[in-house]
Amino acid sequence: MPYNETVANLGLEEYKYHFITKDKPLFKAQKGLSEEVVRQISAHKEEPEWMLNFRLKALRIFQSKPMPTWGGDLSKLDLDDIYYYIRPQDRMKRSWDEVPESIKETFERLGIPEAERKILAGVGAQYESEMVYHSLKKEWEEKGVIFESIEDGLRKYPDLFREYFATVVPPHDNKFAALNSAVWSGGSFVYIPKGVKVDVPLQAYFRVNAEQMGQFERTLIIADEGSQAHYIEGCTAPVYTTDSFHSGVIEIIVKPGARFRYTTIQNWPHNMYNLVTQRALVHEGAHMEWLDGNLGSKLTMKYPSCYLVGEGAHGEILSIAYAGSGQHQDTGGKVVHVAPHTTSRIISKSISRGTGRASYRGLCKVYEGARNAKSNVQCDALLLHDTSRTDTFPYIEIEESTANVGHEASVSKIGEEQLFYLMSRGLSEEEATAMVVRGFIEPVARELPLEYAVELNRLIELEMEGSVG
């Protein structure tokens, strides 16, 4: 089969509806999901009718799909006990001074100095489901870069939005993509025009702070031909007492010759279910990199993917997972080679501590017609305690004889000799352990921007506290 037919058959269909909505009832928050809730969300956001219809159709898909039985344990996830939408603050914040103190405090706790925050351009902070703070450097505006909340993206750029929305992750892709499609709220809309190079990363911090609040952020990014950009999404959140749920969808279109990198460091509260679909469609000669760090949460199921649909496309997934006691990180990546001469690489590093469980789950698929595709996957797991657990579940599906595909994985215990050596140099066991762990993740961590590497190290150190004994 010619590869462009394969692309057409991937099931990434488009959705087109042609109506405009008029009425706007008052929004009342309620637990659970129903058609009424979906209609309220859409009405509250003053969405065009096609989006309402899209949401309703997605809701039906969500209701018809069974819960996944693979991956993590979802039996304790009560989808009726969640607020699917919470009213955001009344208006968008325009300047730093207007950002609420509570959010500033959380920023503070992250340890990023305010000065640095201001230098880091285009910070959008998401708080309780919506963008509350949003700024974009002037020079980018001049270049035509769009960096908006997803709602504003839909409002201000309806045609561009509609052309790409749900084309990479259609609602029928999986149960939680359908759920997100029905109730999405918040997230970013990014467009990088042809040939534009954005030097400073685009950043969107977001936080989840309300108990039992569902967070269904949706991000749509289009990197037009020959453009270059780096998008960073970071996240820390305080610990809650009852289960919480996050289910995002990230769609990225990397047009011919473009280079795009998406970095996420997530440190969710330990009772959070985090089920995310993030996927990039990578066109001819384009490069896509996912840098994915997963800490915290009760269960994370997240497999950033690259669909390499254009000749010579390259996809890369660098992943770090840290599973502390009671946590299950079911993460990894997918690379799907559809076009000839496509290449990909996955590097995954996982650490399991206490009763934590880190699972790598990955797919490397080479369709017929993707001649001379090359893929290499490497997974390393580090176990800190005898109660820790790790799994590796790679799927390698090859339909092309010219393909060259390799997968390697190793599992090891933290080396007693390494610890002994470091401790003989005067480090405590805790410090020594943290140092070994840092060394273990270094091949991925070094790809992070400096401040993130620092933050990640800080988080690892924090997690290591009390890990000995």
Partner 1 sequence: MLADARMTTAAEGVTAAFNREAAERLAAGEPQWLRERRLAAWEVYEQTPLPTTQVEEWRYTDVAMLKLDEVRLEEESGDAPSGPAAELLATGAEAAGRALQVGARLVEVECAEELRAKGVVIADLATAAREHPDLVEPYLGTRAVPADLGKFAALNGALWAGGVLVYVPRGVHVEQPIRIGRWLGRAGVAVLPRTLLVADEGSRVALVETFASPDFDAPALSCGVVEVYARSGASVQYVGLQRWGLGVRHVSTQRTIAERDANLDTLVVNLGASVARVDLAARLEGPGARSDMLGLYFANGEQHFDHNTRQDHVVPHAHSDLLYKGALYDRAHTVFRGLIKVHPKAQRTDAYQQNRNLLLSPEARAESLPNLEIEADDVRCSHGATVGHLDEEEMFYLMSRGLPRRAAERLVIFGFFGEVLERLPLPGVVEELRAAIEARLR
Q: Does 149 bind partner 1 (CB under 8 A)?
A: no
Residue for token digits 């994370």? 300
**How far apart are CB 346 and partner 1 at their closest, in Å?**
13
**Both tokens of residue 162?**
């509609």
Binding partner 1 (rule: CB under 8 A), the pick from 406, 420, 421, 458 is 406
Binding partner 1 (rule: CB under 8 A), the pick from 4, 9, 64, 412 is 412
Q: Specify the stretch interacting with partner 1 by CB under 8 A; choose among 52-60, 118-126, 198-206, 391-399.
A: 391-399
Please report, as residue ranges, which positions from 350 to 389 form the binding site for partner 1 (by CB under 8 A): 366, 368, 381, 383-389
Q: Specify the stretch interacting with partner 1 by CB under 8 A; choose among 5-13, 207-215, 223-231, 402-410.
A: 402-410
Q: How many residues are present in the chain?
A: 469
Beta carbons within 8 Å of 104's beta carbon, 6+ residues apart: none
Q: Specify the stretch interacting with partner 1 by CB under 8 A; choose among 30-38, 53-61, 239-247, 396-404.
A: 396-404
Q: Does 394 bind partner 1 (CB under 8 A)?
A: yes
**Which candidate, 122, 138, 243, 139, places its Cα nearest to that of 189?**
122
Looking at the Cβ atoms of 358 and 448, the one nearer to partner 1 is 358
Q: Specify the stretch interacting with partner 1 by CB under 8 A; choose among 265-273, 277-285, 390-398, 434-442.
A: 390-398
Rg of the chain on CA atoms, in Å = 22
Q: In angstroms, rounded to a whole number, what is the distance separating the alpha carbons of residues 125 and 128?
A: 10
Binding partner 1 (rule: CB under 8 A), the pick from 95, 401, 425, 469 is 401
Q: Does 430 bind partner 1 (CB under 8 A)?
A: no
Q: In angstroms, rounded to a whole number, what is the distance separating the alpha carbons of residues 56 and 49?
A: 10
Element (H, E) at 150: helix 150-156
Q: Does 65 bind partner 1 (CB under 8 A)?
A: no
**How far apart are CB 112 and partner 1 at their closest, in Å?**
35
**How far apart are CB 57 and partner 1 at their closest, in Å?**
25
DSSP codes joined into one string, 105-139: HHHHHHT--HHHHHHS-SEEEEETTEEEEE---HH
Q: Are strands 305-308 and 328-337 parallel, antiparallel or unpaired?
A: parallel
Q: Does 64 bind partner 1 (CB under 8 A)?
A: no
What x-and-dash track marks residues 317-356 binding partner 1 by CB under 8 A?
A: ----------------------------------------
Q: In angstroms, rounded to a whole number, what is the distance separating the alpha carbons of residues 332 and 164?
A: 25
Q: In angstroms, rounded to a whole number, what is the distance separating the alpha carbons of residues 143 and 199?
A: 12
Per rule CB under 8 A, count of chain residues that contact partner 1: 35
Strand partners, 215: 246
Strand partners, 234: 205, 265
Site residues (vs partner 1, CB under 8 A): 70, 366, 368, 381, 383-413
